[in-house]
Amino acid sequence: MGTFSVRVINRSGSPISGAKVTVHYGLWSGWDEGFTNSNGWISFSNNKGNLVTGEFYVNSKSFGEHRTNDGDSYSFTL
């Protein structure tokens, strides 16, 4: 089991704190969610296993499906 991280920034490249990030792993696998810290980051435990696909949402806006590889980081702009 590992972790992956998500960073949320604004169009100027500044971090957004308190953004709600949700990762849906599919109908049978559920989801994880939380809020970004003051630097715009949130980490998730990859308890669904390595190479699992999840659909990423930030403040309810979909940012598509991504593989949740251990150690990876993803950045989304609002």
Task: Give residue 13's pLDDT.
Answer: 97
> Is the pLDDT reported for residue 10 higher than 70?
yes
Task: Give residue 1's pLDDT.
Answer: 64
This prediction's pTM: 0.91
Task: Give residue 50's pLDDT.
Answer: 61
User: What are the residues facing 20 on neighbouring strands?
Assistant: 35
Cα separation, 61 vs 41, whole angstroms: 17
pLDDT per position as a tens digit, 12-71:
999 999 999 999 988 888 899 999 999 999 999 876 556 678 999 999 999 999 988 888
Cα separation, 72 vs 43, whole angstroms: 10
- The whole-number average pLDDT for the span 1-13 is 92
Residue 45, exposed/middle/buried by CB under 10 A (0-12, 13-18, 19+)?
exposed
